[in-house]
A and B are shown apart, each in its own frame.
Chain A
Amino acid sequence: MQKTLDNILSRYRESGGNVISLLQETQDAFGYVPREAVQFFSRELGIAASKFYGVATFYAQFRLRPVGKHKVTACCGTACHVRGAERIMSGIQRELHVTDEEDTTTDGQITVEKVACLGFCSFAPVVLVDGAVHGKTTTDAVIKEIKSLRKK
Chain B
Amino acid sequence: MAMVSLTINGKKITVPDDLTILEAANRHGIAIPNLCKHPQLTPFGGCRLCVVEIKGVPRPVASCTTPVNEGMEITTVTEQLEQHRKFVLELILSDHPNDCMTCESTGSCQLQELAYTYGVKGQEYAGERRTYAKKDGNPFIERDLEKCILCGRCVKVCQEIQGVEAIDFGYRGFKSKITTAYEDDLNCEFCGQCVHVCPTGALTGKLWKRKGRYEGVKETDTVCPYCGTGCNITVHSKNNEIIRITSRPWTWNEGFLCVKGRFGYPFVSSPDRLTKPLIKRKSGEFEETTWTAALEYTASWFRKIREEHGPDALGGLSSARCTNEENYLFQKFMRAGIGTNNVDHCARL
Contact = CB atoms under 8 A, between A and B. Distances in A.
Partners in one complex: yes
Interface of A: 35, 38, 42, 48-54, 57-58, 64
A108 B172 CA distance: 27
16 contacts: A38-B181, A42-B181, A48-B181, A49-B181, A50-B166, A50-B167, A50-B168, A50-B180, A51-B165, A53-B168, A53-B180, A54-B170, A57-B170, A57-B179, A58-B169, A58-B170
B165 A53 contact: no
A48 B165 contact: yes
A58 B170 CA distance: 6
B182 A54 contact: no
A53 B182 CA distance: 6
Contacts of A49: 181-182
Contacts of A54: 168-170, 179
Contacts of A50: 165-168, 179-181
B174 to A, nearest CB: 13
Interface of A is mostly: helix
A51 B168 contact: yes
A58 B172 contact: yes
Nearest to A38: B181
Interface of B: 164-172, 179-183
A67 B236 CA distance: 52
A116 to B, nearest CB: 13
Contacts of B170: 53-54, 57-58
Nearest to A55: B168
Contacts of B171: 57-58
B166 A48 contact: yes
Specify which of B166, B169, B171, B181 lies most central, judged by the most chain A CB atoms within 10 Å of its CB.
Answer: B181
A35 B180 CA distance: 13
A50 B181 CA distance: 4
Contacts of B172: 57-58
Contact of B168 (A35, A38, A48, A64): A48
A49 B167 CA distance: 9
B166 A53 contact: no
Given A50-B165, A57-B171, 20 more contacts: A35-B182, A38-B182, A42-B181, A48-B164, A48-B165, A48-B166, A48-B168, A50-B167, A50-B168, A50-B181, A51-B168, A53-B168, A53-B180, A53-B182, A53-B183, A54-B170, A57-B170, A57-B172, A57-B179, A64-B182
